[in-house]
Amino acid sequence: MWLLRLLAAILVIAVGAGLLLYAFTGRREYLAFSGRLFRYGIVFALLVFALMFVERLAVIPV
């Protein structure tokens, strides 16, 4: 779980840096980069949450 938190923090820093670079330079590549990172981060988070949900449902009775 600590790895997911670390990846989330790195993602937030990278998206913020891209937005900040866009604000200073006005180059659309930085905005597109931040958008792609944000989109992939949301998809990854949804996949992780779906796997956690399925894990809770698939409790094998002993």
Predicted TM-score (pTM) of the model is 0.81
Q: Say how many domains are in the chain.
A: 1
Whether 62 is covered by a domain: the verdict is: no
Whether 52 is covered by a domain: the verdict is: yes
* Closest by CA position to 22, among listed 1, 8, 36, 42: 36
The predicted-structure confidence for 31-54, as pLDDT tens digits, reads as follows 999 999 999 999 999 999 999 898
Task: Choose the weakest-confidence range: 26-30, 32-36, 53-57.
Answer: 53-57
Buried b (16+ CB within 10 A) or exposed e, 34-60: beebbeebeeeeeeeeeeeeeeeeeee
Half-sphere exposure of 44 (CA within 13 A, CB side): 11
Whether 29 is covered by a domain: the verdict is: yes
Is 62's pLDDT higher than 80? no
Residue 8's domain comprises 2-57
